[in-house]
Structure 1
Amino acid sequence: MNEIAVFLDERNEISSFIESKCVKIFEKKEDLWKAKKEVSVEISIDGKGVREIREEYLNLIKQMEECKIVIVNKAFGIPYSVFYAEDFSVWELEGNPLNFLDEIIIKEKEEEEREENQEEIAKELGEGHFYIDLMELELSKPELSSKKVIIPFLEKDEVKKIEIHCCHVPPWIIKEKDKGKITLKVEEIKRNEYNVTIEKYN
C-alpha cells in the first residue's frame, strides 16, 4: 500500500474521472513520494454506450498495474462504478495531490486494521447477518466489553442481524430493545449459556 493514482487536469490539479487529462501514479520510496508512471486519459463518453465506456475504463485500470487507491475531485457515474467494482479505494479531494498522500496511506492502514479486527470478532453468516461469540472473546480479547464489540456492528447500515453466544444477556442490549431500536430473541442453551439474536428495525 505505497502507490496512489491521481486523476489530474492540465494544471496538475486533482480532476474528475471524466475531465482528467492524465493519471499519475505516485509511489513512496524512502519517505519521498515520486511519480512512478503517467498514463494519458483520452476517454470520451459522448455518444457511447455503457458497455463501451466501461471497457475503456477497465483498459485504463490495467495500465495502473498494482495500484488500488485513486484520487479524484468528483466520484460519480459509470467510471466510479467501474473502479468501485474493481475494489479500488476512491478518495474525493481538491488541489495539489502531494498535500494528501501521506494522510491517505495512514487512513487506509487504519481502515485495514479495523476490518481485520472485525473479521476476528465476527463471522459473516450471510448478507447483513453476523455471528459473535462473546464467551470466546472474553478469553481471547478480555479488554473488549460487549458494547465495544457489538455497537460498531449495530451502527453499520448493512448489518441487519447479529447472533450472539454469551454467558448472560448484556443489560444494555435489553435497554436497546426497550427503546424500540432492536428486536431481541433469547434462547437459553444451559445455565450461564445463551444464544441471543438481535435484529435491527428497518
Structure 2
Amino acid sequence: MKSFAVYLNKQDATCSLSEEGRIRVYSHNSQDASWHAARDIEFTLADCRTLPEFRKKITHMISELSDCRIFIAREVNGQLFSILEAYRFSIYEVDGKPEQFLDSIYELESKELAAAAQAKAEAVTGKTPEKSDEEGRYFLDLKAALNQNPHLTSKKILLPFISERNFKQLELICDHLPKWFNNELENLGLIYSADKAASGDIKVTICPK
C-alpha cells in the first residue's frame, strides 16, 4: 500500500469524474503516520466525446498511476468503475477533503491486507487442489472442502492456487458457480467450462488461455 489517488476539484475537495478536476497522489509515511502530496496528474473526462477517446484517457491515467491501486472520488460511475475494478483498484466514493478521510481509508485497507494474508494462510493449511497426474492436472472437490470448513470461501481456497498459474488443468466439483470467477479468471488469463452432472453438482474445468 504505497499511495492513494484522489480526484479533486479546484477547492481541493473530492468531486465526480464527470466534473473538471485533477488527480492528486498521496503517499503515506508509516513512521510518523503522515501524508505527503507526491504529485498531481492532469485528468478529466468532462471533454470526452467518443468512446475511444474515453478509453484512451483512462488507459493513460492508469499507466500514470503506476503501482497505485487505491482510487478515491466523490462519485465513480459506469464504465470507469468497471475498468478500474478490472485493474484491481480499490475504489472509494467519499465526499470531502483528503485530510478528512485518508487515515480512515488507510485503516480499512490495512485491515483488508491483513485479512487477505490470513485467508491465504488458512487456504494453505486448509483444503487445496491435489495433483492428479504428472501432466499438471489437479482436482478438488470444492463442495466438500467448503462443507468441512465453514470459515473458508471458494475464493480463499482457490485464488492463491490459481494465481500462480502453475497448472495445466484444474477440475472442480461445485454446488454452484462462484460469482467471482468471470472477473478474476479473466484477469489471470484463465478460461473455464462448466457442466451440470445428473447429481445436480457442477463440474468446472479451469485452464490457462
- TM-score, normalised to structure 1, is 0.60
Q: Distance in 2 between matches of 1:131 and 1:116?
A: 23
Contact preservation (8 Å) 1:22, 1:38:
yes
Deviation at 1:41, TM superposition (A): 1.5
Match of 2:4 in 1: 4
Specify the code of the residue in structure 1 equivalent to 2:5: A
Conservation of the 8 A alpha-carbon contact between 2:19 and 2:44: no
Match of 1:109 in 2: 110
Structure 1 letter corresponding to 2:80: P
Match of 1:143 in 2: none
1:134-181 alpha-carbon deviations (Å, 9 max, x no partner): 88xxxxxxxxxx54x25x66xxxxxx947xxxxxxxxxxxxxxxxxxx
Q: Is the Cα–Cα contact under 8 Å of residues 8 and 15 in structure 1 kept in the other structure?
A: yes
- Distance across 2 between alignment mates of 1:97 and 1:72: 10
Aligned to 1:193: none
Aligned length: 146
Inter-CA distance 46–63: structure 2 relative to 1 (3 Å threshold): closer
- Where structure 2 has 5 or more consecutive residues not aligned to the other structure, the ranges are 130-137, 155-172, 176-198, 202-209
Match of 1:72 in 2: 73
Q: Distance in 2 between matches of 1:120 and 1:79?
A: 33
Q: CA deviation at 1:90?
A: 0.4
Seen in structure 2, the aligned counterparts of structure 1 residues 100 and 15 have a Cα distance that, compared at 3 Å, is same
Shift of the alpha carbon at 1:43?
3.0
Which residue pairs with 1:33 in the alignment?
Answer: 35
Distance 1:61 1:4 in 2: 13
Q: Which has the higher strand share?
A: 1
Counterpart of 1:103 in 2: which secondary structure? helix
Q: Which of 45, 48, 71 is matched with 1:43 structurally?
A: 45
